A = this chain, B = another copy of it.
Amino acid sequence: MSIDRFKVLFHINDSAKWPVVLTNITNFLNDVGQENPLVEVVANGEGVTPFGSKPALREQQKGCSLSRETLETELQRLAAQGVDFAFCRNALRAQSIPEENLPSFIRVVPAGITEIARKQAEGYAYIKP
């Protein structure tokens, strides 16, 4: 089957999975070409934790092996290639993470689950790394 345009959504709710998500997207873009796909990452739950205000403690506890700086640089690189990042407002509030702390290329959505449901209804494939 020939696919006109890939539409892929990655769901992350565990900060330890960010390195895997980055590798998956990089490999995918290398495989299909950067102009072709629509790629979105929805982070909820502990997926948003690396952007909290106490990075040292948080990284220890949550197991993301990337520093916040490295993670932000990598996300920025993918955002520049058209990857859309959507963070869940419920998760940010539950962890007292101010939205102003997020880099400007990250979009905040009212509820991550709704975003995931909507995108699948629009034909996005769902991938949980």
A interface residues (Cβ-Cβ under 8 A, vs B): 1, 3, 6-8, 11, 13, 20, 23-25, 27-28, 30-32, 37, 44-45, 88, 90, 110-114, 116-118, 120-123, 125-129
Q: Could you give 16 example pairs across A and B, Cβ below 8 Å?
A: A1-B121, A6-B114, A6-B117, A6-B118, A7-B117, A24-B44, A24-B45, A27-B113, A28-B114, A31-B110, A31-B111, A37-B117, A116-B125, A116-B127, A121-B125, A128-B128
Best-buried of A20, A32, A113 by chain B (most CB within 10 Å): A113
The 9 closest A-B pairs by CB, nearest first: A120-B125, A31-B111, A28-B113, A117-B125, A27-B90, A128-B128, A8-B117, A31-B114, A6-B117
